[in-house]
Structures are given as structure tokens and as C-alpha cells.
A and B are shown apart, each in its own frame.
Chain A
């Protein structure tokens, strides 16, 4: 049998198109991850699975690490909103540093190491061998670093510098910091859990979307409404009206 272009086209439609449709029906085509990190055998949330997309509030929720401690330990603005600030936002605030002839960026892995030291949870990093001086001092002052561990980290510090020298003093700092006065905003990254946590009632959710609050509250509001055939842009502002 001779195979022509039209047969290849049909094969692509059937195998790829049909395969994706079938996989979606079988719940095997998830293009997003649930936001909760995986758990260790001890039942605790695994520090290794901490992600750049996690907000400070989520870190507090999953790991019981106070958002205020991260803000203070890293010298973030006091008005940083834990609801919005993601760990990966750090690389837009701090200058990369040169450590042992390699560029190091203060980001998710730095917070993982900080979390492991603060909470005394085991985590072995293969990239963070130095911490900001400010962070080490915070850990020492909080009594989280003692003995050999303290000696090691005191000898492995670097000075943290801001990319924008006006970061701490500017009246506004783009999208990184969202003032409380602006109120809660529903964005494409807001989960159902965050929405309910902001004070939106389940009745209000049902009134706006026409559907009950899903059991899995870790999914994004945007994904939930799109899945129900609703235009996210049309309803996102109705939650706070």
C-alpha cells in the first residue's frame, strides 16, 4: 500500500489529535501541576519539591515557614504581599553573585536551604553552598543555627545586593509588591483555595461561576472556569464586586 501526504495528515489527526482527546478523557493530559508539593514518607511536605511558582503564603501553608521570616531573612520589602510574591520573583530583586567562579542566583533553591535550616528538615542542595550574610545572621539570631552548622554557614556567606537600588524606598515596586490597599485581585494564577482564603464565600463562588466549589481547591480558578466553558476574563472581576 502506497502512503501519501494525505495519509500522513490523517495519521497526525487520528493519532495526535485523537490521542490527546482520549488522554484528556482519561485524565492523562494535565498541562498544569497541582500546586501542593509531594509529601515525604514521614508525611511532611518535601522541601525538594518547593517550586519557584509557590507564593510565600503557600510556603507558609505547606511548610509552616512564616512568610514574615522569609521577608525578614532575605531583606524583602516589609509590604511584600505573601499572596502574590513567588519564590522565583527573587531573581528580579537580587543581583546575581559570583561564587567560586560561577554565577549564583538567589531564588528557589536558596529558600529551600533556608527552609531546611529554619525547620531542621533534611535537604541536600547541589547548588547552594553559600547564603546571604543577612539570612545567616537571621538564622543565628533566631537560634536556628548552632555548633558546626553555624560555623560552616558563617564562613559561607555573601553580600546580597538589590538589582534596583530604590527597591526598599520606592513608593511602588511594579507587580512584585502589591499593596494591601489595592485589595485582592483574581489573576490567572489564583487558586480556588486562595480565592476562598481572601474572603470570597462558597455562595459567592457559586453565584459567579454557576458551579459548586470543586473538591480539589488547589486548582487554578482560571483552569476551573475554562473547563466549564466560561470565559475567565469575563468573570474574574465579578468575585470582588
Chain B
């Protein structure tokens, strides 16, 4: 078990790094506006380091060769880099990098302590499944409206911008309200913004259908303990699929045999078809089941 906790620390370290980086950028931007020198790194605006800025300006970029207000070249570059990473590994950005997702996850840890097994299970399955498509509607609305208006309308209700720019007069009351609702919601549901509302998550989620490195379950070695389902922050039904290509997957790796799955080579990210693995897994499974049958957990 100690070995597993250590491995999960890699993702935690990456999350903390990016969260600290965004906080530093935000502080530096504030200092810059006060005429003070930035600390350690530069002082770009939050818009400049958000890949979603690249998505919303894409129409203006290709039709007029310009960016919409407040968006810079860096947003476009980051967008292509994130899309490349997502094509390979799925929405790693959501599960590992996005500081807002990290904050939701940290708040969710409090909710998990309060509600225990009921946490992340408050919304009925059918409603949850339906609500998960809402983010595609938001993605379409945001991209189309931004293309028509040429303005960064999304920042008016963007809780990420509100949280990390809370000192700024640019933050609207609506975005503060959305931020409050999301943070409170995170006490009941894991990553509510990512799951139901995030337009960037919606775009990246589509890549789950054809990403190169896939999440695969070995049906032969799987003992159907549902440890993977229990730890999945996005409520994906993992234990009934052979290849998990659900549009909600955030590539957090929590469900894999590296962390939650108690059977070696039963559930993991892999890039090539396995042949020998299946055979090996049958031998390994007997040894590991007894140790970890209680399943994973965060």
C-alpha cells in the first residue's frame, strides 16, 4: 500500500506545481499593475497562459489573423501543445495540470471525509449521464458567441478566472457566483465544473474516443471488485468495458493497477496490443488479490 501512495504522489506533485505556478503568475500580474517587479518569473495575464483562450479565438485567428481581446499568441501555442498531449494520453491537462480542477479535487477531499461513501453519489445515474453533455452545449455557445462578438465573453462567468484573479476589478459578480457554487458543489460531487460545465474539458474529452494511449481492462484477469469504479472521479463505468473511451475520462490513472486496481496488468494505460501480458496477468493475479482485495481508494 505504501508503494501505491508514493506513486500517486507524482500526480499530486504535478498538480501542486501548476497550482503554485498559476498563483505566482496571478500575484506577479497584480504586482506588475502596481508597478512592482515580478517575482521569479514574468507577469503575463491569466488569459495569456490559458489554452482555452486559443480555442475561443480560433475563428478570429483563422479568418482575420488576429486574436480576440485579451488573448495572445501564447494561448494558441498552449492550445496546440495541450491538444498534442491529449491526442497521445487523453485529457491529461484536466487530471494533472488544470489548477481549477486541482482546487475542486482538494475541496472534494473535505467532502469525501464528511460524506464518506455517499460522496460523489448524490446525483442519480441517469441525470448524471445527461448532465455530462451540458458542457458540449456550453462549448458550442462560447465558441460561436466569441466568433460573432470578437470578445472574451466566457470570462464573465469563468470561475477559474474569478478564483485566480479575485483581486481584479475584471471579475464579474456572475463569475464569483459560479465560483461559489462550484466550490460548494465540490463538497458533494467530485469536480462538478469539469464534469458538467467546463467547455475546455468538453473539447479535450472528445479525444478519448481516438487517443493513442488507451485505458484497457483485461477481462480475463479482472476480478470485478469495482475498485476502479469507486475511485473514478468522473463516475465512469469502468469495470464493464474492455477499452475505456468514455468522453469524461481525465487520464488521472487513479483506476489503474498502478493505484487502485488490485490485479497486476488488469487495468492500465497501454499503447500496444498486449499478448504476453494477458498470460502474465493470470499468474500475477493470484499473488496480488489477497494483498489488495479491499480495493483502492483515495
Contact = CB atoms under 8 A, between A and B. Distances in A.
Contacts of B32: 188-189, 222
Contacts of A32: 44, 48, 72
Interface in B20-52: 31-38, 42-45, 48-49
Nearest to B76: A28
A181 interface: no
B59 interface: no
Nearest to B64: A38
Interface size class of B (residues with CB under 8 A): 35 or more
B208 interface: no
A91 B170 CA distance: 10
Interface in B121-160: 149-150
30 contacts: A2-B265, A2-B268, A3-B213, A3-B270, A4-B269, A5-B8, A5-B10, A9-B10, A11-B89, A12-B92, A12-B97, A15-B85, A15-B88, A16-B82, A16-B97, A19-B81, A20-B81, A23-B77, A28-B77, A31-B42, A31-B44, A31-B48, A31-B73, A31-B74, A32-B44, A33-B67, A92-B169, A185-B35, A187-B35, A188-B38
A233 B73 CA distance: 27
A16 B81 contact: yes
B241 interface: no
Contact of A29 (B11, B14, B77): B77
B253 interface: yes
Interface size class, chain A? 35 or more
Nearest to A49: B66
A15 B36 contact: no
A5 B258 CA distance: 8
B120 interface: no
A92 B73 CA distance: 29
B209 interface: no
B72 A2 contact: no
Interface of A: 1-6, 8-9, 11-12, 15-16, 19-20, 23, 28-33, 38, 48, 51, 91-92, 126, 185, 187-189, 222-223, 226, 231-234, 236
A91 B36 contact: no
B291 interface: no
A16 B85 CA distance: 8
A1 B272 contact: yes
Contacts of A16: 78, 81-82, 85, 97
B293 interface: no
A3 B213 CA distance: 8
B11 A91 contact: no
Contacts of B272: 1
A194 to B, nearest CB: 13
Contact of A12 (B34, B42, B67, B85): B85
B286 interface: no
Contact of A4 (B69, B73, B258): B258
B298 interface: no
B118 interface: no
Contacts of A5: 7-8, 10-11, 253, 258
B177 interface: no
A126 B45 CA distance: 26
Nearest to B149: A126
B188 interface: no
A226 B42 contact: yes
Contacts of B42: 31, 223, 226
A38 B78 CA distance: 23
A128 B80 CA distance: 36
